[in-house]
Each structure stands twice: as structure tokens, then as C-alpha cells.
């Protein structure tokens, strides 16, 4: 697969999601889906895909939500999953049953020429926080929507409300240098934490009736397999994994020990549930 469209300002993200992090997301696909299932459930409910609809799944990764959407728009509908990560899209292609109406495209959603005014739903599970110029990206995606089409996506709220991501980072930083804190508007997991910023981006990109619904969750980072799986989760994705990237093995081992000790306090049987906080964002295309 090769990248069909790209915006040079997102080159860092293309490199990131095609490097080791993209490979880890592919390898962890099943666990990520278990972990994020509570978000998927509420997001699909708010998006309300219906038979016959056309949906775009932005930053579709390993394809789980595209496949779910495709099941719900049958008969007569179709889903296009768009992503910049070759390893994750490869996994998506392998998983999608041949008879499902879903296509996967490797392209930057900022620059890809979507079929004009064709889609009924613009959807994303954590795939829209990585754009260098989000307003430009959303304006481009909106061109692919018919008037009155729906937008529904999930993004993380601020770091302090997401201990499942920040507690492992704090523990890792006892052993490895703390990565520079990203600016609140820099591409990354928390780029859409600020409600006013999200409203501004969507208003200017031509969306109306913007609504941000706060949803608080208990996320089982042990994915039903206990403490070791929880350590694997937070060292495999998210801010702690970014801090540990490229560090010597002895420091990684020491960091994992601290993380394990901190997470042990949250273990109940095979679950290790920590608080997480998302926005479920919805809007209409004007």
C-alpha cells in the first residue's frame, strides 16, 4: 500500500505511525479493542449508523470500527476507512470479511480527495487528534459529506482526568528523562482536550450544532488478564511508551517494575481498571 495523499505538515505523524508505534498497535490490535470497548460502545450509539448509509472512518487504524460500521450500514451502505499507517491498514485488510462493504485507503485525511458531498457520517475513534492544522483537515473531510451529514468522534479529555495514561508516565519518568511536555495544541492524544478549541476548529471548518459530551470510564488496562498485561498495555502505547522509546533495556526494566508496583494497587482479580475521560463529539455538516 502506498500513501495516496499527504500534507507535508503531517510528515512526522506519517513517520511515527509507520514506525515501531504503528507496529506495536498492529500487534496489540485485539487488546486495544478490548481496552477501548467501552468507548466504542458509546461512540457507535451516538453515531447511530443506519442501513444504506455511507460512512468515513478517519484514522481507522486496524479497522475495528470500520468493520463495525460496515455491519451496521448493511444492506446498501458502504464504509471507507482512511489511515496513514501501512502496518495498521494491513491488519485492517486481513481482518475485514470479504463480503462486508468496507474499503481501506492509505491517505492523509487532510489532503485526500473524498468523493464530494457523498457521505452521511464522519466517524473516528481517537484518529483526529494528530493533524498539524486540524481546521484544514476538518474542512477537507467536510467536503466529503452531504449537507446535514453527522460527525461523531471520540477524543481524550485533559491529562489529569486520564490517570490510566498519566500514572504510568509518571512512574516511567522516575527512570528515564521526561519527554518535553507537548503544547496543548500540538498533535497528540490530548490535542483535543480543550472544549473551546474543538468548537473553534469545527465551527470554522463548517460544522454546526457542535456538542461535546463528557464521558467518564473505568478502563481495564489489564484487558481481563491481570497485572502483567496491564504493564504491557501502558508500555506498548500511550505517553509512557513514548518516554521509553529507544531507552536502554536496564532502564526500561526498572521503569516497568515501578509501573507494575503502582498499578498493583488497582488490581482486582484479573482486572486493572483506572479512570479515563473522553469527549464524545457530535455535530452536523452545514
Ligand X SMILES: C[S@@+](CC[C@H](N)C(=O)[O-])C[C@H]1O[C@@H](n2cnc3c(N)ncnc32)[C@H](O)[C@@H]1O
Contact 86, 22 (CB under 8 A): yes
Binder of ligand X out of 53, 68, 83, 171 (CB under 6 A): 83
Which of 108, 171, 220, 232 touches ligand X (CB under 6 A)? Answer: 108
Nearer CB in complex with ligand X: 35/74: 35
Q: How many other C-beta atoms are found inside a 10 Å radius of the C-beta of residue 100?
A: 17
Query: Closest Cα partner for 34 from 60, 64, 69?
Result: 64
- Is 55 near ligand X (CB under 6 A)? no
Per CB under 6 A, does 156 bind ligand X?
A: no
**Which long-range contacts does 157-163 make (Cβ < 8 Å, 24+ apart)?**
157/193, 157/214, 157/277, 157/278, 157/279, 158/190, 158/193, 158/194, 158/277, 159/190, 159/193, 161/216, 161/275, 161/276, 161/277, 162/275, 162/276, 162/277, 163/274, 163/275, 163/276
Q: CB–CB of 139/162 below 8 Å?
A: no
- Among 104, 114, 123, 130, indicate the residue that binds ligand X (CB under 6 A): 130
> Using an 8 Å Cβ cutoff, are 4 and 103 in contact?
no
Least distance from C-beta 248 to ligand X, angstroms?
27
Sole binder of ligand X in the list 82, 141, 155, 243 (CB under 6 A): 82
- Judged by CB under 6 A, does residue 192 bind ligand X? no
Least Cβ distance, residue 24 to ligand X (angstroms):
11
Residue 126 makes contact with ligand X by CB under 6 A: yes
Q: With binding defined as CB under 6 A, does residue 84 bind ligand X?
A: yes
Q: Is 32 in the site for ligand X (CB under 6 A)?
A: yes
Q: How many CB atoms lie within 10 A of CB 129?
A: 21
- Provide the grid cell at 97: 470479511
The correct pick among 77, 127, 144, 168 for binding ligand X (CB under 6 A) is 127
In the bound complex, what is the minimum distance in angstroms from residue 261's beta carbon to ligand X?
A: 27
Q: In the set 34, 35, 56, 61, which binds ligand X (CB under 6 A)?
A: 61
Size of site (CB under 6 A) for ligand X: 23
Q: Is 109 in the site for ligand X (CB under 6 A)?
A: yes
Q: Which stretch binds ligand X (CB under 6 A): 58-66, 92-100, 222-230, 273-281?
A: 58-66
| CA–CA dist 158, 19 (Å, integer) | 26
Q: Which is nearer to ligand X, 162 or 260 (CB)?
A: 162
Residues 6+ away with beta carbon under 8 Å from 148: 284, 285
> HSE (CB half, 13 Å, CA atoms) of 149?
22
Taking contact as CB under 6 A, which single stretch among the options 80-88, 163-171, 194-202, 254-262 is the one that binds ligand X?
80-88
The three cell numbers locating residue 164? 490510566
Residues that bind ligand X (CB under 6 A): 10, 13, 17, 32, 36, 58-62, 82-85, 88, 108-110, 125-127, 130-131
Amino acid at each position: 500500500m502506498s500513501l495516496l495523499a499527504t500534507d507535508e505538515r503531517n510528515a512526522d505523524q506519517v513517520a511515527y505511525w509507520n514506525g515501531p508505534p504503528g507496529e506495536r498497535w498492529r500487534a496489540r490490535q485485539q487488546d486495544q479493542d478490548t481496552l477501548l470497548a467501552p468507548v466504542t460502545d458509546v461512540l457507535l450509539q451516538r453515531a447511530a449508523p443506519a442501513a444504506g448509509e455511507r460512512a468515513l472512518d478517519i484514522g481507522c487504524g486496524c479497522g475495528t470500527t470500520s468493520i463495525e460500521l460496515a455491519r451496521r450500514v448493511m444492506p446498501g451502505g458502504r464504509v471507507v476507512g482512511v489511515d496513514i499507517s501501512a502496518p495498521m491498514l494491513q491488519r485492517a485488510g486481513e481482518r475485514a470479511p470479504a463480503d462486508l462493504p468496507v474499503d481501506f485507503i492509505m491517505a492523509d485525511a487532510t489532503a485526500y480527495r473524498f468523493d464530494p458531498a457523498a457521505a452521511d457520517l464522519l466517524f473516528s475513534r481517537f484518529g483526529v487528534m494528530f493533524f498539524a492544522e486540524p481546521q484544514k483537515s476538518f474542512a477537507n473531510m467536510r467536503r466529503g459529506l452531504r449537507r446535514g451529514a453527522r460527525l461523531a468522534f471520540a477524543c481524550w479529555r485533559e491529562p489529569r482526568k486520564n490517570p490510566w495514561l498519566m500514572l504510568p508516565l509518571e512512574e516511567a519518568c522516575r527512570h528515564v528523562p521526561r519527554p518535553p511536555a507537548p503544547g496543548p495544541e500540538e498533535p497528540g492524544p490530548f490535542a483535543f482536550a480543550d472544549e473551546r478549541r474543538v468548537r473553534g476548529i469545527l465551527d470554522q471548518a463548517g460544522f454546526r450544532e457542535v456538542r461535546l459530551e463528557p464521558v467518564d470510564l473505568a478502563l481495564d488496562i489489564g484487558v481481563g488478564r491481570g497485572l502483567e498485561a496491564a504493564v504491557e498495555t501502558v508500555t506498548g502505547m500511550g505517553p509512557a511508551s513514548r518516554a521509553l522509546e529507544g531507552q536502554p533495556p536496564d532502564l526500561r526494566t526498572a521503569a516497568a517494575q515501578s509501573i507494575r508496583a503502582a498499578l498493583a494497587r488497582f488490581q482486582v482479580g484479573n482486572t486493572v481498571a483506572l479512570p479515563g475521560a473522553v469527549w464524545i463529539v457530535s455535530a452536523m455538516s452545514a
